[in-house]
Amino acid sequence: MENYQALREEIVSSAQELTRKGYLMATGGNVSVRASDKSGFAITPSNYDYMKMKPADVCVLDMDLNILAGERKPSVEAGMHCAIYLARPDVNVIVHTHQVYASTLTLIQAPIPALFDEQARFLGRSVEIIPYAPSGTGFLSSTVAKYVRGHNNAFLMQNHGTLVFGTNMERAIHNVEILEKCSLAYLIALCSEKKVTRIPAAIREIALIKLKKDQQRVIKGEPHNSSE
Ligand SMILES: [Zn+2]
């Protein structure tokens, strides 16, 4: 596998950025990044303060969940991250958060339809609910792996939190931010008890074509234009 240090530094800086922005709280949630040779991934350690975290605290695992580096215990959700990487060759970064507004939608089991152009462009056709399964279990990993197939980059985990994907870290953090904006807007719209309108289906499908193109480029190892 490539240089562990670069992967570990990326995890620390991104976990701290997500904490500063309020998407990760206390020790909740986790972040992983896949090695570019696809042989494994780096992930935040279990139950450890993100703002105290140093690159040496970050765990590096292979795709059989053997620990290659890191003195701390990996996140209990390492198995879930691994299952997602195996199911989604286009995904190189996974962020799992307990962010408040998206988590609220998981309580009322409200999947988010295509409400905004940028949502369809970056998160996919809709944000679906993944049924409840206890944290850190093989049951959660297998349930999640089944639901994340396809092209969507954000999911709501029932009575738990979110799962957000990206082809790279910048895109994954951007997707976390889009998800929270959509969640808050949708919650307020639902509270109004008025009809919630969606973007036209044709626009949604055009956005999805662009998203799929990005994903194909990543699978083929081509650079993708993030400004598109
Ligand atoms: Zn969690």
Q: Which two tokens stand for residue 39?
A: 């042989």
Taking the centre of ligand 1 as the mean of its atom positions, its distance from the CA of residue 168, in whole angstroms, is: 21
51 located within any domain: yes
Taking the centre of ligand 1 as the mean of its atom positions, its distance from the CA of residue 223, in whole angstroms, is: 31
166 located within any domain: yes
175-193: pLDDT as tens digits: 999 999 999 999 999 999 9
Taking the centre of ligand 1 as the mean of its atom positions, its distance from the CA of residue 99, in whole angstroms, is: 10
Please count the structural domains in the chain. 1
Query: Could you list the residue range(s) of the whole structural domain that residue 163 is in?
Result: 4-219
159 located within any domain: yes
Taking the centre of ligand 1 as the mean of its atom positions, its distance from the CA of residue 82, in whole angstroms, is: 15
Distance CA 111, CA 91 (A): 21
Q: What is the pLDDT of residue 71?
A: 86
pLDDT surpasses 60 at 227: no
- Residue 183: give its domain's CATH number: 3.40.225.10
226 located within any domain: no
Taking the centre of ligand 1 as the mean of its atom positions, its distance from the CA of residue 169, in whole angstroms, is: 19
195-217: pLDDT as tens digits: 999 999 999 999 999 999 999 99
Q: What is the pLDDT of residue 223?
A: 66
224 located within any domain: no
Taking the centre of ligand 1 as the mean of its atom positions, its distance from the CA of residue 96, in whole angstroms, is: 6
225 located within any domain: no
Query: What are the Cα distances from residue 48, in Å, to 33, 35, 51, 93, 221?
Result: 18, 22, 9, 20, 34
103 located within any domain: yes
Q: What is the pLDDT of residue 228?
A: 47
Residues serving a catalytic function are 77
227 located within any domain: no
CB of 199 within 8 A of CB of 115?
A: yes
